[in-house]
Amino acid sequence: MFGSSGRDERKEMTAAGPRIHPLSVISMTFVFVFIAIVVALIAADLSYIGLGDVSAALAAPEIRAAIRLSAVTSLATLLLVALFGAPTGYALSRYRFPGRGIADTIVDMPIVLPPLIIGVSLLVFFQTDPGKWIETHGLKFVYTRKGIVLCQFLCSVSYAIRAAKASFDSDNQKLETLALTLGCTPMQAFRMVALPLARNGIVAGAILAWAHAVGIFGPLMVFAGCVRMKTEVLPTAIYLELSVGRIETALAIALLMLALAACMLAAIHRLAPGKRW
Contacts to other proteins by CB under 8 A: 1-3, 174-175, 177-185, 188, 192-193, 196-197
Q: Which is nearer to other proteins, 27 or 181 (CB)?
A: 181
CA dist 51 and 252 (Å) reads 9
CA dist 100 and 165 (Å) reads 13
Q: Which is nearer to other proteins, 14 or 177 (CB)?
A: 177
- Closest approach of other proteins to the CB of residue 201, in Å: 13
Q: What are the residues whose beta carbons fall under 8 Å from the beta carbon of 110, sequence distance 6 or more? A: 118, 154, 155, 156, 157, 158
- Closest approach of other proteins to the CB of residue 179, in Å: 7
- Closest approach of other proteins to the CB of residue 192, in Å: 7
Q: Which is nearer to other proteins, 1 or 25 (CB)?
A: 1
- Closest approach of other proteins to the CB of residue 14, in Å: 24
Q: Which is nearer to other proteins, 2 or 32 (CB)?
A: 2
Q: Which is nearer to other proteins, 46 or 182 (CB)?
A: 182
- Closest approach of other proteins to the CB of residue 4, in Å: 12
Exposed / middle / buried, residue 136 (Cβ in 10 Å: 0-12, 13-18, 19+): exposed
Spell out the alpha helix ranges (H) of the chain.
6-15, 22-48, 51-59, 61-94, 100-112, 115-125, 129-136, 145-169, 173-181, 186-189, 195-214, 218-223, 234-243, 247-271
| CB count in 10 Å sphere of residue 61 | 9
